[in-house]
Amino acid sequence: MSFEEFWQENKTFVLILLGGGVVFLTAWFVVTGSVEDEIRSNVAAARNHERKAKKLKLPSGALRRVETQLEELRDRLDMLQKELAYVPQPGFTLEGVGKSPDIHFNETLHRMLRDVVEVAASLDIRVSPDLGLHGVTPRTRKEMEWYLNGLDVVNRIGVAAIASQVETVEPITIQEYPKKRGGRRGERPFIEPVSVTFHARGGPAAIDSLLRGLQLPGARLVVTTARISSLEKPEGKKTSVFDEGLVGLDATVQALRVDPEGEPTKPAMARR
């Protein structure tokens, strides 16, 4: 069934749910942080089995069982990494860049202003021209790599917004580069998400299309929150329905940067 057919058949019901300025979570769009927890859990379990295999003198046959479990965990981890680990698009990394990092970073900004902000403006779509940086100027190579990855996420949001024909995507904010990284002992983190938050507004169908565009197979992005609210509630009037019109979307999207040599943290369920 197409979105248009669904909308015509269920318009009243959907409008009642959205009406009155009630904010609701689009849980069916949201991939939660359990993705990170599963990866961390598999890494921790694999390393735990490996340590046990090295330290203990196991009975006959037990070693083989441990090795089998370890191999299964490694296969599972490898599959998760291939499916979910973020891989930057060309130009949004310093890897293999021969020119000055500063020049490369500035060229990337100019390219996005031309190919995303200006193209969107030509279609009467406003995309925040600061691209989520809010005046931040990265100084070190690691900071530049971080913000280039963040710009990659912003670029994908902008492209999805243009394809979906929303009205605006602003403000946009790239998560600030973390000055302290890893655990208490300063370990390199196994998973280091780069988060981008944004607000978009448009018709229900456009917002629906935008969210779907961020979760296409191979996008390697995780939508951790997505909250939609009505922008059509009459001022000073309580109502349970509203005419078809604008809705607002507040969302957070993450690129899960994976460092195979990093140290996994405990899954959320185990943090007690």
75 plus 20 within the same structural domain: no
61 plus 174 within the same structural domain: no
Question: Mean pLDDT across the stretch 36-58?
Answer: 68
Q: Of the given ranges (100-104, 127-131, 228-232, 259-263), which has the lowest mean pLDDT?
A: 259-263
Question: Mean pLDDT across the stretch 1-8?
Answer: 51
77 plus 93 within the same structural domain: no
Dig out the tokens for 162 from the structure. 């243009």
229 plus 114 within the same structural domain: yes
180 plus 109 within the same structural domain: yes
Q: What is this structure's pTM?
A: 0.69
135 plus 152 within the same structural domain: yes
Domains contained in the chain, number: 2
136 plus 226 within the same structural domain: yes
Q: What is the pLDDT of residue 7?
A: 46
Which residue segment(s) compose the domain that 90 sits in? 3-30+85-270
89 plus 202 within the same structural domain: yes
Among 177, 259, 164, residue whose Cα is nearest residue 210: 164
Render pLDDT for 213-253 as a digit per residue (tens, 0 to 9): 998 777 778 899 999 988 876 554 444 444 457 899 999 99
CATH number of the domain enclosing 101: 3.30.70.60
102 plus 206 within the same structural domain: yes
Q: Which of 8-12, 24-28, 142-146 has the highest mean pLDDT?
A: 142-146
205 plus 98 within the same structural domain: yes
